[in-house]
Amino acid sequence: MSQMSRGELPHSTFLTKKEWRSIELWLYTMEKYGHYSDDRLARKAKKKMGLSYDVLGHGSFRVVFDLNNDYVLKVVTRRMGFISNEIEMDLFRECPKHLRNYLCPVYEFGHGWIIMRKMIRTVSMEERDHRKKLVKLEDDFLKEGIHPGDLNEENLALSRTGKLVVIDYGHFSKADFWW
Ligand SMILES: Nc1ncnc2c1ncn2[C@@H]1O[C@H](COP(=O)(O)OP(=O)(O)OP(=O)(O)O)[C@@H](O)[C@H]1O
Ligand SMILES: [Mg+2]
């Protein structure tokens, strides 16, 4: 996993210099649109950035592009998104290996963006098997002192081998607030 920060010369395996600049420009102007609905904000972000990728989805804080080749690009649309990106990058890099298997892999990140593996299959919590897997996942994180926040269907996917994978772990936190 490689890191790029503001001020460094743009160099990314996934993004061109032009794309990198478009993202930076968006980040400088996004505050203007803070009052938009999530949906409208994601559309505005796509239009302003002018990237050639399709939008795969969005939440409240990031818009997610399909990089056409097994990867997704998540770009911040609200300030909280910077924190989500940082948490995902830190957690994926630093958590114990048995927990990392639950996390959608991070490949690269920079100021306001992060690149992850694209997951195809969505999860329905109607299925008993998925609910059981989710309980085990939550237990495993809590045992390591990590509170797995916001584990709803939209933030979960299934890997090709049927493993439950978290695609949005930006709301995970150290569980010390329990004390
Ligand atoms: N790795 C991925 N593979 C496929 N689709 C993804 C992936 N990551 C995100 N998505 C899609 O994009 C949507 C938004 O992504 P994500 O949940 O990370 O954004 P967010 O703004 O952080 O969300 P929230 O409002 O829950 O904090 C997801 O619900 C999902 O539909
Ligand atoms: Mg989400």
Domain map (residue ranges) of the chain: 2-117, 121-178
Distance 9 CA to ligand 2 centre (A): 30
pLDDT for 115-168, tens place per residue?
A: 999 998 787 877 888 889 999 999 999 999 999 999 988 899 988 888 899 999
Among candidate residues 101, 93, 97, 96, the one with its CA nearest the CA of residue 145: 96
The model carries a pTM of 0.92
Q: Compute the radius of gyration of the chain from its Cα atoms.
A: 16
Q: Which of 39, 43, 58, 156 to mutate to test the pocket of ligand 1 (most atoms within 8 A of CB)?
A: 58
Superfamily the domain 121-178 falls into: Transferase(Phosphotransferase) domain 1 (1.10.510.10)
Ligand index nearest the alpha carbon of residue 80: 1
Q: At what angle do helices 38-49 and 17-29 cross, to 10 degrees?
A: 140
Pick 2-117's CATH classification: 3.30.200.20, 3.30.9.10, 3.40.50.1000, 3.60.130.10.
3.30.200.20
